[in-house]
Amino acid sequence: MTETNIKTAGEISPGDPEPDQKEYNRIKIRLSIVGIILDIALISLIAFSGITGWLMSLISPLTKNLYLQFLAFSAVLGMALSALGFPMEFYGGYLLEHRFKLSNQSIPRWLLEKGKSTAVSLAIGIPVALAFYFFLKSAGELWWLYFSLFIFFISVFLARVAPVIILPLFYKFRELENGEVKDRITALLSAYNIPIKGIYSFNMSRDTKKANAGFTGIGKSRRIILSDTLIKDFTPDEIAVVFAHEMGHYKRRHIAKNILQSTIIIFTSLYLCGLAYSRTALNLGYGRIDDIAAIPILLFYLTLAGLVMMPLTNFISRRYEVQADSFALDATGDRQAFISSMEKLAKMNLADPDPHKAVEFFLYSHPSIKKRIAFATSYI
C-alpha cells in the first residue's frame, strides 16, 4: 500500500475544505435545524390547540364511515403541512442546489420528481395509515404491537421490491458494460463469493452532479448500482474501493442489522409513545384512543422520539461505515485509491470534510471525510 506524503507548510491537505463546501453545508445544517424546530412547532400546534376538533366537526357530517373520516382528516393536515413546508423544500432542494452548481434539474423537472415522490409516498402511505387506524380501533392497548409487526413486514417487502419497481420510476438502469470497471467488480465479488443478480449504472447525472453507489434490494432483487457520475469521474481503482466499501456493508450484514435495529426502535417507540399518547389523550378529554382528533398527539410524541433517537441511530450508522471502510481497505489493499476517492466524493458532493463535532454527532450518518482519510492513513 502507498503511504501518503507528509504535508509541508503552505500545502493543502486532502481534508481541507474549499469555501463552497463549508458554505453549502452551513446552509444545509441551518435548514435541517430550522426544519426540525418548525416540525415540532407545527405538530405541537395541531395536537394541542384544539384545531383538530374543529376540523373533525367539518369532516364528520360528510360521511359516517370512520375510515373515510380518518383519510380526509389525514389528507387535510398532510396538505397543510406540505404547503407550509414547500418554501423551505424548494429552497433546499432546488435553489440551493443550483446556487452551488450541483443540480441539473429545471423547475418543471424538479416538480415532476417531487410529484412522483409524492405519488409513491401516497401509494405506500395510505395502506399503512389505514392499517394503523384499524389496529388502533380494534386492538385496544395492544395496537402498537400489531402495527409494529405490520411495519416490519412492509419494510422487508419494500426492500425486496424497491430495486425492480420503485427506483426505476426515478432513474434508468442498465447493465454495466464490459470493461475494466466491471472486471474489477466481478473479481471482488468472486473473491468473496457474493452472488449478485446484476451490476447496473443509473443516470444520476440527469438530476445532479453528485456521485453515489450502493447495494440495494434483498434476496433475488439484490443488485449493485453505480451512478454514471461515479463511472465517468472516478478511476477504476477508485471505483473498486467505493464498491468494496459497499461490499463491506453486505459482508458485515449491515442491511439485516439495520432492519433489526429499525424494528427494535419502531417497537420501542410505538410502545412508549403509545403509553404517553393514551394518558395525554384521556387527560385532555378524549374518550377513546381511536378518536381521530386525538391522533396528532401520538404524532407529536413520535416526532420527539425520532429526534431523541437520531444521535443513537447516527452513531450506529457511523460505526457501520467504519467497518465498511475497513473491509474496503482489506479487500483492495489500495489506501491511496481510498483516500483519493474520498477527496473526490467530498468535492463532487460538496461535503464538509471537517464539520463541528456536535453537528457530526447529531446529524451525520457517516464519519467526516477527514476522519475517514485519517483512518485510512493509519490503517494497517
pLDDT at residue 102 greater than cutoff 50: yes
- Whether 2 has a pLDDT exceeding 50, the answer reads no
Confidence of residue 154 (pLDDT cuts 50, 70, 90): very high
For residues 161-181, give the mean pLDDT: 90
Asked if 322 contacts 378 with a C-beta cutoff of 8 angstroms, the reply is no
In this predicted model, which residue has the larger pLDDT, 219 or 179?
A: 179
Q: Over 80: is that where the pLDDT of 15 sits?
A: no
Other beta carbons within 10 Å of 144: 25
| DSSP assignment letter at 17 | P
pLDDT of residue 240: 93
Span 288-335, pLDDT tens digits: 999 999 999 999 999 999 999 999 999 999 999 999 999 999 999 999
Tell me what the mean pLDDT of segment 31-45 comes to: 94
Percent of the chain with pLDDT over 90: 73
Q: For the domain covering 173-249, report its CATH number.
A: 3.30.2010.10
Contacts of 163 (CB under 8 A, 6+ apart): 216, 217, 221, 222, 223, 225
180-195 average pLDDT score:
89
Rounded mean pLDDT, 338-365: 92
What is the band of 71 on the pLDDT scale with cuts at 50, 70, 90? Answer: very high
CA distances from 193 to 19, 250, 314 (A): 43, 12, 30
The answer, yes or no, to whether residue 197 has pLDDT greater than 80, is: no
Q: What is the pLDDT of residue 224?
A: 84
255-272: average pLDDT: 91
The domain ranges of the chain are: 19-171+251-378, 173-249
pLDDT (average), residues 167-182: 90
**Which one has a higher pLDDT value, 98 or 380?**
98
Mean of pLDDT values over 181-195? 89
* 136 vs 256, higher pLDDT: 136
Stretch among 7-21, 64-78, 154-168 having the lowest mean pLDDT:
7-21
pLDDT in tens, 3-12: 333 232 223 3
CB 310, CB 270: distance < 8 Å: no
Q: Output the pLDDT for position 18.
A: 67
pLDDT of residue 16: 53
pLDDT of residue 244 exceeding 60, the answer is yes
Say if residue 120's pLDDT is above 50: yes
The pLDDT confidence band at residue 222, using thresholds 50, 70 and 90, is confident
For 128, 189, 193, 224, 270, the CA distances from 196, given in Å and listed in that order, are 31, 8, 10, 7, 36
- Cell for 309? 433517537
pTM of the predicted protein model: 0.86
Check residue 270 and give its pLDDT.
96
pLDDT of residue 112: 95
Residues near 295 by beta carbon (within 8 Å), at least 6 away in sequence: 52, 70, 73, 136
Work out the percent of the chain whose per-residue pLDDT is above 70: 95
